[in-house]
Structure 1
């Protein structure tokens, strides 16, 4: 989310002034027209595949589809201590900050088309991936796409109730895969989403619902918890970068600086041992290798909020400082995002390019992954390999951060790792 001001300032300022000369990038203009969501027809369980049907659940932060949903989104976001730790008074401070920030953030969403397109893209990506899986993994077909957002509709609770209504779980059994759409794992993103999924599983199907930890006929869950260097992800990013590089004259092309921008983390989370910084760096390195290590680059961080220290250098500061030093050909690459949303359409396009770079023609952003067919094929390849491996999660997911003291995190990890005993690999 585009939040550049410290919290101490944010709670005081609720008015917003548009730039004197609004700058909308081609990426923004392309998707401003419609944020309508893709709604695939309902599919109930059948016996089409020997191991099917399979629910494929895309997990992400989400975003408000309309300006009316902004307050609820912000309230959910600022109340989540996994993402933005605010101390013992989180449940009071979070909603207060959300209420004060709502008018400003509503105006930001209004300037990118009236809402976030992340739901539209998530539903499209999930549906297209499932079409591929039905062909490449008939043993686990039919594959039913679902989306579970952490802070916006459809929330995890809504998604889980849809699973039950469609005949998964609730005594009927069935298989579901939680597929994180954060390629690089962080306790504040994937971890928080899995904690929420575990919470609703316990409430709707677990001990709190019927008295048993693993009741007969409950959904069998597994998790695709990270995929930072998958060839499909790397190739999709690399081709988008190459396409943008072609917009520069040949004599300038070799000196373009690539700025890989990812959502930042509070240093308290980083120092706890969160793996996100090194996994983002792994993605950057893999993309640079695919590009032949030909271009100068930096990994930078965006979307800081609050007065406490966050992981840097900041994207906005980096652009301004490089331009002062004469580097005016810069490409911004949203390396930790799988579709457009406010961090790309507003923060990068309008604030960084439009304001910090003053709309300089040499500062550009690569197109987001969105409906990229290479990326969607990569998602299908990841999902197929996971389904056929018969494992509940990666071995890495079972390791807690060295400084983690969260019992919720421990319970979530133990549950998903424990699903291993319910799964078995498919024959090659």
Structure 2
């Protein structure tokens, strides 16, 4: 956790866009995320990969039901992407974050530079194998695997790490390359400050006399209760982030943690964001700010589900006075400083892999998870 002086140093280093990455990097930063289709004709394959990934979602007869659901949902999801500009901006924001991160790392940690970022998306190009092939081609000396999900879930970070394991387990690996892993960072103080600042910006858009009564709804992607019962740490880590953000804000407003983006008929974490809005309106709440607490950049869940389905359509339906949405971290200077501090602190630490990651959920029945964690323990030592 950075001290006051360290925060000042982090923020005083200008985060400027760079024209290109170093040709010969010493340290590679492998950024993990879900990704999103850049064009509507990529939507079907994107959904197909999600619906057939048992780390993400478990379905009966998944080899048949997964493709069926993907095909059935494609037209509706394509329409949603058309309504937000024709594609997901995740790649654009991840590139921007990677550029600013490496620019700052080169200044804060010249002894490990030059630094170069690599993007490993789970369900759309650039894929895991593409990023690792590029890393091997560049001949970097050190690789930091950096999950861009602040809170760990077996369905998100876990799936991305399993993809790395599946691709690399049978490959001949250069033992001179040092690997390490950042698998979660839900309580980093600069992450909390970033989200708090995004909230404060939106609060100022309400009349002064109403600002203290604005309901803050921290909305995160839901998770099947089956995964929660298995021991997935995601709900508790999201809750930890919310608590730290509200502490940063001095607990200035009423707030609640809610869950969005449920898929399929099985029970998921509740209360759902839509139902929570309706419930609070019935209790007399009329002003809301939706806060993406587990998304680090804009994508369909923020731009369509939050902005259009909730703020616009649902808000009108239930008669709210005003419902706004806090921006995702994106390229906020505080957020870039958070990323840089996480990486620099990690590289200076003797701990190359989190013992929590190496500990399976108490009711885990996924043998691939066991094999993957065992393999990563060896990779990062």
How far 1:43 sits from its partner (Å)?
A: 3.9
Per-residue CA deviations over 1:70-90 (Å, capped at 9, x if unaligned) read 111101111111111113x21
In the TM superposition, what are the counterparts of 1:85-164 in structure 2 within 5 Å? 85-87=58-60, 89-164=61-136
Question: Among 177, 184, 188, which residue is 2:144 paired with?
Answer: 177
- The whole-number CA distance in structure 2 between the counterparts of 1:411 and 1:111 is 42
Matched, 1:412 2:372: yes
Q: Specify the alignment match of 2:217 in structure 1.
A: 259
Q: TM-score if structure 1 supplies the norm length?
A: 0.82
How far 1:420 sits from its partner (Å)?
A: 4.1
- The whole-number CA distance in structure 1 between the counterparts of 2:19 and 2:54 is 33
Q: TM-score if structure 2 supplies the norm length?
A: 0.92
How far 1:416 sits from its partner (Å)?
A: 1.8
Per-residue CA deviations over 1:90-115 (Å, capped at 9, x if unaligned) read 12221221111111111100100000
The change in CA–CA distance for 1:133 and 1:407 in structure 2 (over 3 A counts) is same
- The whole-number CA distance in structure 2 between the counterparts of 1:242 and 1:327 is 19
Matched, 1:378 2:350: no
Q: Specify the alignment match of 1:14 in structure 2.
A: none
Matched, 1:193 2:151: no
Per-residue CA deviations over 1:137-162 (Å, capped at 9, x if unaligned) read 11110110111111111111111111
- The whole-number CA distance in structure 2 between the counterparts of 1:216 and 1:107 is 45
- The whole-number CA distance in structure 2 between the counterparts of 1:352 and 1:249 is 21
SS in 2 for 1:304: coil
- The whole-number CA distance in structure 1 between the counterparts of 2:281 and 2:47 is 33
Q: Kindly report structure 1 stretches of 4+ aligned residues shifted beyond 3 Å.
A: 38-46, 215-219
- The whole-number CA distance in structure 1 between the counterparts of 2:346 and 2:63 is 37
SS in 2 for 1:305: coil
- The whole-number CA distance in structure 1 between the counterparts of 2:57 and 2:45 is 16
The change in CA–CA distance for 1:39 and 1:71 in structure 2 (over 3 A counts) is farther
CA contact (8 A) 1:42 1:166 kept: no
How far 1:218 sits from its partner (Å)?
A: 5.9
How far 1:413 sits from its partner (Å)?
A: 1.2
CA contact (8 A) 1:392 1:416 kept: no
Q: Specify the alignment match of 1:45 in structure 2.
A: 24
Q: Specify the alignment match of 1:286 in structure 2.
A: 244
- The whole-number CA distance in structure 1 between the counterparts of 2:68 and 2:137 is 35
How far 1:39 sits from its partner (Å)?
A: 10
CA-atom RMSD in angstroms: 1.6
- The whole-number CA distance in structure 2 between the counterparts of 1:293 and 1:225 is 29
Per-residue CA deviations over 1:229-263 (Å, capped at 9, x if unaligned) read 10110000001111111111111111111100000
The change in CA–CA distance for 1:40 and 1:55 in structure 2 (over 3 A counts) is farther
Alignment length (residue pairs): 363
* Contiguous gaps of at least 5 residues in structure 2: 1-16
Matched, 1:80 2:53: yes
- The whole-number CA distance in structure 1 between the counterparts of 2:120 and 2:321 is 38
How far 1:185 sits from its partner (Å)?
A: 0.5
Question: Among 187, 202, 209, which residue is 2:171 paired with?
Answer: 209
CA contact (8 A) 1:43 1:166 kept: no
SS in 1 for 2:156: helix
How far 1:375 sits from its partner (Å)?
A: 0.3
Q: Specify the alignment match of 1:302 in structure 2.
A: 260
CA contact (8 A) 1:257 1:295 kept: yes
* Contiguous gaps of at least 5 residues in structure 1: 1-37, 47-52, 169-173, 203-207, 422-428
Per-residue CA deviations over 1:124-176 (Å, capped at 9, x if unaligned) read 101110110011111110110111111111111111111122224xxxxx211
SS in 1 for 2:296: coil
SS in 2 for 1:357: helix
The change in CA–CA distance for 1:415 and 1:365 in structure 2 (over 3 A counts) is same
SS in 2 for 1:187: coil
In the TM superposition, what are the counterparts of 1:322-401 in structure 2 within 5 Å? 322-358=280-316, 360-401=320-361
- The whole-number CA distance in structure 2 between the counterparts of 1:107 and 1:116 is 12
SS in 2 for 1:188: coil
